[in-house]
Amino acid sequence: MRALRPLVVAVSAATAVALLAPHAGAQGPTRPPAPMPLTPAQFPPFAEVTLPNGLRLLVVPSTKQPVLSVTLALPAGSLHDPAGRSGLAELMAGLLTKGAGARSADEISAAIEGVGGTIGAAAGADFLQVSTTVLVNDRELAFDLLADVVLRPTFPATEVDLLRTQTLSGLALQKSQPSAIASRAFARGLFGEHPYGRSADETSVGAITREEIVTFHSQRMRPAGALLVVAGAVDAAEARRLAERAFGGWTGTAPAAAAARAIPQRTRTEILLVHRPGSVQANLVVGNTTWLPIDTRSYALTLANEVLGGGSDSRLFDILRERKGWTYGAYSSVSRRRGIGSFSATAEVRNAVADSALRELLVQLRRMGAEPMTAEEFDRKKQTLVGRFPLQVETADAVASQVANARLLGLPTDYVQTYRQRLAAVTAAQAQAAARAAIRADAAYIVVVGDATALAKTLAPIAPLTIVDVDGKPVAAADLEVRAGGPAIDASRLVATSDSFSVLVQGQVFGFQASSLVRSDDGWTYTERSQLATIIQQTTTVTFGADLAMRRTEQTGRIQGQEMGVRITYAGGKATGEGQVPGAQGMEPVRFADVAVPAGTIDENLASVVLPYLVWTPDARHTLNVLTSKGAVQPRTYAVTGEESVTIAGAPVVAFKISVSGGEAPAVMWVEKAAPHRLLKIAPVGQPIEFVRVR
């Protein structure tokens, strides 16, 4: 049988050639087919009615799936947070499903998950929305749960404390995330003292009480002005019956919003540089305010934005990434709010090209209003947006979301039904005119998050520059200079030690860190071994003189299976190193030579060694110059923020709680209050990991 196979193959090949021969000279299509005529997105007639208590009910019937989605939106967003209580609306929204009516948080979860449904709440800038989605046969349960969480939340004290703790942890983590830092700073600078510019912070969230949450709920969660959207396999009569049964006894009107501060009117381009020491990349955000959501130019602006930075085939992505190689991605977006919207363009670039990337970004923003768009790019983007819309309203919850958003923003009642036609009618000239009005590069607010020591001088010629830290506090240019010296450390007091820490992840032992400091004939050797399960294995050795002058650092190990390591030598007040260290995109090679190291600078791995030898008091604040594994000299600040009791080996120990700032990742340390001021615990901010002394 095997002898026949070549013959069969030969015959098959010959047959194929014979069949294809008559068509060998035929040409395939040279251009894509013309688009089909535009057909409206199909929606059933919407039914809208206002119930006697003022609740607006909007029903969007759909029989595509046996699913029902219900969204209740109220004017109770962060716009209404009282002064000094930013984050109140978000906390309240997060607590609505954590106990309501006769059900606990677990019982609410069990009830909705038991029928394969979902329920949740979230607060935006203007509105708070509570949504649930279930199979249509479970519609009674959906309305019962929705009514409970909206009208009868219990706000258990334990849940309030837990959510506050989680929120504070998240806020602390945001301080280590450049994109989050940039977003907060951009909103604050763009909107000023208007509520749109406010963000929750540790002070405001920490001050919010359960009583304030209860009061905010009783004042803001009222039916007059609220919108209930019911979408899915239900008719108007049934939806009204369910709504009246669940919300018929709900009464009241929320108080009017307090008069908001005016939004700044910018007449020139300005740069806010947020100093994040040690950052090797810079996060750029450029933008300005636009107009009210009902402005009919929004259709044209949507298309202009899509051409500029709406995706990986847009101008910004093509120029800044594909042609220049400066970034992994550059995008732009348009935000709509009930009050006033905004435009922004973003990119994350290397420090060395931050000024070039920012200049090019501004060039592209100006170009949008100054030059006509090509017919090819404009038509392609229009077809993409028009063609994509039906996919965005395929499900009941998607329809409910689109319709609710349109109604809340005050858009025409037929906005969703006619969106495609209005978008398709936009001309290239209209898109250019909208871009010229809404994308104002010469009156833009620019936020750059990065290491100001590497960026300030190159950014200053572009536009007036202000430097602040991650908390928004001003930073003087002189403060960026790394100065020689630092806190006095009596090296003669150093003693040989050995320390051992458990590595805990979410309270469970996940690894260890062991270290030793050993005297040699003419100095000291510090050795540290760390292991985090099979994820990280690392050994570090630092040698230094009796006067704390650095000599050598060698670090080796594996992180998630990848080899890492760096070797640094110190000589003549300079440092030289090379190796491979963790970076934003995995392991990154590092090489530096003759980096100036001011007197008193220590290797960053020695910080825990010298801390016990500093003077610790309730208001102590020390700054150490450290050299990082990437060759950057940074001032690292250790400031006492309070006292706490820490359990070590089963016994309580009174400790100073110390905030560590100045590095890429902030941390908290606990140092024993009494001499010899042993380091007791380390916790990277926002991470579920701790290093706790075991002896």
| pLDDT tens track for 130-153 | 999 999 999 999 999 999 999 999
pLDDT of 600? 86
Mean pLDDT of 658-682: 88
Mean pLDDT, residues 326-355 taken together: 95
Q: How confident is residue 478, by pLDDT bands cut at 50, 70 and 90?
A: confident
Angstrom distance (rounded) from CA 321 to CA 291: 30
Residue 38 token pair = 């535009």
Instruction: Tell me the average pLDDT across 512-537.
Output: 92
Q: If pLDDT is split at 50, 70 and 90, which confidence band does 39 have?
A: low
pLDDT higher than threshold 50 for residue 613: yes
What confidence score (pLDDT) does residue 358 get? 98
Q: How far apart are CA 649 and CA 41, in angstroms?
A: 67
Picking from 119, 54, 113, 69, the residue whose alpha carbon sits closest to that of residue 93 is 119
Give pLDDT tens digits for 180-218. 999 999 999 999 999 999 999 989 999 999 999 999 999
Q: Rg of the Cα trace of the chain?
A: 31
Q: So what's the pLDDT on residue 32?
A: 64
Rounded to whole angstroms, the Cα distance separating 694 from 122 reads 42
Residue 613: helix, strand or coil by DSSP?
helix
Any idea which of 167-171, 366-370, 393-397, 629-633 has the lowest mean pLDDT?
393-397
Q: What is the pLDDT of residue 19?
A: 40
User: What integer is the mean pLDDT of 663-690?
Assistant: 87
Q: What is the DSSP letter of 268?
A: S
> Which token pair is 7?
């013959």
Instruction: Name the nearest CA neighbour of 199 among 117, 101, 85, 303.
Output: 85
Cα torsion 77, 83, 85, 89 to 10°: value is -10
User: CB–CB of 648/692 below 8 Å?
Assistant: yes
User: Among 22-31, 97-106, 676-685, which range has the highest average pLDDT?
Assistant: 97-106
Average pLDDT over residues 668-695: 90
Q: What's the rounded mean pLDDT across residues 235-259?
A: 92
Alpha-carbon span 236 to 265, nearest angstrom: 46
Task: Tell me the sheet residues that pair with 67.
Answer: 135
CATH topology of domain 270-395+408-474: Cytochrome Bc1 Complex; Chain A, domain 1 (3.30.830)
What percentage of the chain has pLDDT greater than the value 90? 67
Q: How many residues does the chain have?
A: 695
> In whole angstroms, what is the distance from residue 478 CA to residue 226 CA?
53
Q: Is 48 helix (H, G, I), strand (E, B) or coil?
A: strand
Q: Does the structure show a pLDDT above 90 at 594?
A: yes
Find all residues with CB under 8 Å of 162, minimum gap 6, and list them. Answer: none
Question: Comparing 131-140, 377-386, 487-496, which segment has the lowest mean pLDDT?
Answer: 487-496
Residue 587 has what pLDDT? 84
**In sequence order, what are the residues at sequence separation of 6 or more whose Cβ sits closer than 8 angstroms to the Cβ of residue 394?**
64
Q: What is the dihedral of CA 529, 532, 537, 543, to 10 degrees?
A: -30
Question: What distance lies between CA 619 and its chain's CA centroid?
Answer: 33
**Count of other CB atoms within 10 angstroms of residue 342:** 22
Res. 577 pLDDT band, cuts 50 70 90: very high
Cα–Cα distance list, 252 to 49, 72, 255, 258, 468 (Å): 18, 16, 10, 18, 45
Torsion over CA of 356, 362, 364 and 370, rounded to 10 degrees? Answer: -140
Q: 106-120, 362-376, 458-472, 599-613: which range is least confident on average?
A: 599-613
Neighbours of 214 (CB within 10 A): 16
Looking at residue 570, its pLDDT comes to: 95
Measured at the CA of 174, the angle between CA 168 and CA 177, to 5 degrees, comes to 160
pLDDT bucket at 546, cuts 50 / 70 / 90: confident
Query: How confident is the prediction for the chain on average, in pLDDT?
Result: 89
Both structure tokens of 506: 């979410």
Q: Cβ atoms within 10 A of the Cβ of 626, count?
A: 22
Look at residue 17 in the predicted model and tell me its pLDDT.
40
Note whether 681 and 669 are within 8 A (CB). yes
Residue found by looking up tokens 């500029």 in the block? 308
**Is the pLDDT confidence value at 1 over 50?**
no
Average pLDDT over residues 258-272: 89
The predicted structure's pLDDT at residue 151: 97
Higher pLDDT pick, 278 / 598: 598
Give the residue-averaged pLDDT of 395-399: 80
In 117-161, DSSP assigns E strands to: 118-123, 128-135
Domain made up of 49-247: CATH architecture: 2-Layer Sandwich (3.30)
CA distance 654 to 648: 10
Other CB atoms within a 10 A radius of the CB of residue 553 amount to 25
**For position 5, what pLDDT does the model report?**
37
CA distance 93 to 110: 19
Distance CA 268, CA 667 (A): 38
At residue 434, what are phi and psi to the nearest 5 degrees? -65, -40
Distance CA 233, CA 251 (A): 28
Q: 596-625 b/e with 16+ CB inside 10 Å = b?
A: ebeebbbbbbbbbbbbbbbebeeeeebbbb
Query: What is the H or E stretch that residue 472 is in?
Result: none
Q: So what's the pLDDT on residue 279?
A: 80
Distances 326 to 248, 380, 409 between C-alpha atoms, Å: 58, 26, 38
Q: Is the pLDDT of residue 588 over 90?
A: no
Mean pLDDT of 25-51: 70
pLDDT for residue 484: 63
The span from the CA of 334 to the CA of 437, in Å, is: 13
Question: 84-112: b or e for each residue (b if 16 or more CB lie within 10 Å)?
Answer: ebbbbbbbbbbbbbbbbbebebeebeebb
Type and span of the H or E element at 488: none
Residue 468 confidence (pLDDT): 94
Work out whether the CA dihedral 135, 140, 141, 146 comes out positive or negative.
positive
Q: How far is CA 149 from CA 91, 93, 154, 609, in A?
A: 14, 10, 9, 52
Cα 198 to Cα 168, 192, 465, 482, distances in angstroms: 16, 8, 22, 33
